[in-house]
Amino acid sequence: MTSSNSISSATDPLSYRDAGVDIDAGDRLVDRIKPLAKRTMRPEVLTGIGGFGALFEVSKKYRNPVLVSGTDGVGTKLKLAFQLNRHDTVGIDLVAMSVNDILVQGAEPLFFLDYFACGKLNVTTAASVIGGIAHGCELAGCALIGGETAEMPSMYPEGEYDLAGFAVGAVEKDRIIDGKAIRPGDRILGLASSGAHSNGYSLIRAILARNRTDLSEQLDGKPLADLIMAPTRIYVRAVLELIRQIPVKGLAHITGGGLVENVPRILPEQTMAVLYRSTWDMPPLFPWLQQQGNVAAHEMTRVFNCGIGMVAVVAPEHADAALNCLRAAGETAWPIGEIKPRLADQAATVVE
């Protein structure tokens, strides 16, 4: 004998909702997203949210445009977002990781698409995440032109989700920044980060877990949770202004691989970057992580940005003007090093 609460028989009708997918919730989310996306629109957007594909017309201001694309995620920083029930800033992280990447080649971000995947759609949580994405797009000056929300039962633990983002920008072909003009004697400028951005969080989480850290503890007058979850800084407006005013030879976004592995990505052979650690202010989060995890100094610089989220290389005669431009645009920036000749047995980046 079976009870009335038993599993439905093979002849009972099934719906998509019975299988774990709530189409109505998805529709409600789209309704919540549309006004958020509308705030990010640019004149070049022909069709946006809601269609099968979004249309974007390349502006006539470009003579010979080259499209530059980038994609990224937020990584295990999301695990802390789940733990803390903080979902309003990880969308900013998502946008930042892609737009900052395409920015280093001189590209103006034009539009952005997101992919939000979960096991069961919570409209409030998803709307909070996508609200952060829209805010990030506003900061970057690009349009949130489309995306995908995927509800996939049993694919993700309850209350968790994953994010991916895709940015497309444009740069004049003769204005592409590729680092080829970098020479010994050039100056390296560092733009301050807002914290760990979206890299090194597997190590951060390991340090927190081993020490059973209470994230409500104060560090430098702020809860640790606030410092650790600070969203990635978006450098687009300041760096585009810098490019307009100064001949920038190279730009590097300091992401996974930290300072020592990202700066060499833009250096010509037989050159090296020498960074002087005393020249910039390191946020208190990084010394705290180093002490709590007993992390070696070299490991810190190859995992974390250590307070420098973006690097610019300019000729020495342009260094002061470049710093003034960045600071006028609201960035904290320092002269942090120089380009030197590199011998075969030398590292491409040295932090002294």
Number of domains in the chain: 2
Length of the chain: 352
Name 176's Cβ contacts closer than 8 Å, sequence gap at least 6: 66, 105, 106
Sheet with 161-172, strands from edge to edge, namely 65-73, 161-172, 108-118, 143-151
In a domain, 1, yes or no: no
Residues forming a β-bridge with 275: 337, 351
Dihedral sign of CA atoms 74, 77, 78, 84 in order: negative
What gap in Å lies between CA 103 and CA 251, rounded to an integer? 8
Ordered DSSP codes for 8-52? PPTTS---TTTTT--HHHHHHHHHHHHHHHHTT--TTEEE-TTSS
Are 153 and 254 part of one and the same domain?
no
Please identify every stretch of the chain with a pLDDT value under 70, giving residue numbers as ranges.
1-11, 14-16, 18-19, 26, 48
Are 218 and 168 part of one and the same domain?
no
Predicted confidence at residue 1, as pLDDT, reads 37
CATH classification at residue 241: 3.90.650.10
What pTM value is reported for the model? 0.91
Of 152, 175, 198, the domain-final residue: 175
Are 319 and 192 part of one and the same domain?
yes
- Contact (Cβ atoms closer than 8 angstroms) between residue 169 and residue 113: no
Are 207 and 104 part of one and the same domain?
no
Closest CA to 210 of 303, 282, 291: 291
What gap in Å lies between CA 179 and CA 177, rounded to an integer? 6
pLDDT by residue (tens digit) across 81-114? 999 999 999 999 999 999 999 999 999 999 999 9
The whole domain housing 295 covers: 187-351
- Contact (Cβ atoms closer than 8 angstroms) between residue 194 and residue 331: no
In a domain, 215, yes or no: yes
Give the distance, in angstroms, between the CA of residue 93 and the centroid of all CA atoms in the same chain: 4
- Contact (Cβ atoms closer than 8 angstroms) between residue 113 and residue 162: no
